[in-house]
């Protein structure tokens, strides 16, 4: 039988509840702090799955209101492009000028 503390909160980076609570106890009390210390939210989903859960854990553990804990902004993920696509775009822009 597994301990609830070993439950994954961030499945992408395999960060457990125990790791997040430990980070909070060490003074890391924002979602950004937790992300930097544990890598939670840095996986494939970019925190779409775990950010609100992490914020709730911080809120419950610190007594801070949830709206104070949630990050104020999100960054859009960037999709890599082949350099050829950029080169062709520049060539077409120069050609049309």
Tens digit of each residue's pLDDT (9 = 90 or more) over 23-49: 999 999 999 999 999 999 999 988 889
> What is the distance between the terminal CA atoms of the chain, rounded to a whole angstrom?
69
Q: Which domains does the chain have, with CATH numbers?
A: 4-71 (1.10.10.1100)
**Separation between Cα atoms, residue 49 and residue 67, nearest integer Å:** 18
Q: Are 10 and 41 in contact (CB under 8 A)?
A: yes
Quote the mean pLDDT of the chain: 84
Tell me the pLDDT band of 70, cut-offs 50, 70 and 90: confident
* pLDDT given at position 69: 87
What is the value of pTM for the model shown? 0.70
């Amino acid at each position: 039988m597994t301990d609830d503390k070993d439950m994954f909160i961030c499945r992408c980076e395999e960060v457990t509840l125990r790791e997040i609570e430990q980070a909070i106890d060490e003074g890391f009390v924002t979602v950004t702090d937790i992300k930097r210390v544990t890598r939670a939210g840095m996986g494939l989903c970019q925190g779409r799955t775990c950010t609100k859960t992490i914020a709730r854990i911080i809120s419950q553990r610190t007594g801070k209101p949830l709206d104070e804990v949630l990050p104020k902004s999100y960054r859009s993920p960037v999709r890599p492009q082949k350099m050829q696509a950029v080169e062709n775009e520049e060539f077409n822009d120069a050609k049309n000028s």
